[in-house]
């Protein structure tokens, strides 16, 4: 199982990075490979390689704003949630992503 994710809040500060940390921790607890790109006040950090996107099973957008270069992900199933959801309950976000690909 492989997940790629983008986190971005309106201010591009704390919540962007808190969501990324939460998703990484939740995925690690399940031995799921995850690559998280943050799109915050510092610009795009940890940009996901196209090869990682291509081999991902699902994409998570934990965002409250537009995702830059969204077209990179267009052929993948995408779960979109608010940043706060990934901050408060990243494990539930991972569950929703897994359910999305079971359909």
Q: What is residue 11's DSSP assignment?
A: S
Calpha distance 72→16 (Å, rounded): 20
> Which residues are tagged catalytic?
9
Q: What is the DSSP string of 32-95?
A: -EEEEEEEETTEEESPPPHHHHHH-SEEEEEESSPPTTGGGGTTS-EEEE-HHHHHH-HHHHHH
Q: Which domain holds residue 12?
A: 2-102
**Number of independent structural domains in the chain:** 1
Per-residue pLDDT of the chain (103 residues), as tens digits, is 999 999 999 887 799 999 999 999 999 999 999 999 999 888 999 999 999 999 999 999 999 999 999 999 999 999 999 999 999 999 999 999 999 998 6
| Coil, strand or helix at 6 | strand
What CATH number should be reported for the domain holding residue 97? Answer: 3.40.50.2300
């Amino acid at each position: 199982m492989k997940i790629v994710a983008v986190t971005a809040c309106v201010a591009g500060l704390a919540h962007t990075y808190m969501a990324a940390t939460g998703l990484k921790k939740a995925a690690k607890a399940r031995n799921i490979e995850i690559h998280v790109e943050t799109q915050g006040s510092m610009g795009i950090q940890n940009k996901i390689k196209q090869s990682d996107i291509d081999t991902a099973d699902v994409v998570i957008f934990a965002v409250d704003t537009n995702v830059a270069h969204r077209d990179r992900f267009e052929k993948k199933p995408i779960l979109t949630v608010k940043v706060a959801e990934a901050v408060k309950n990243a494990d539930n976000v991972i569950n929703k992503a897994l359910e999305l690909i079971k359909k």
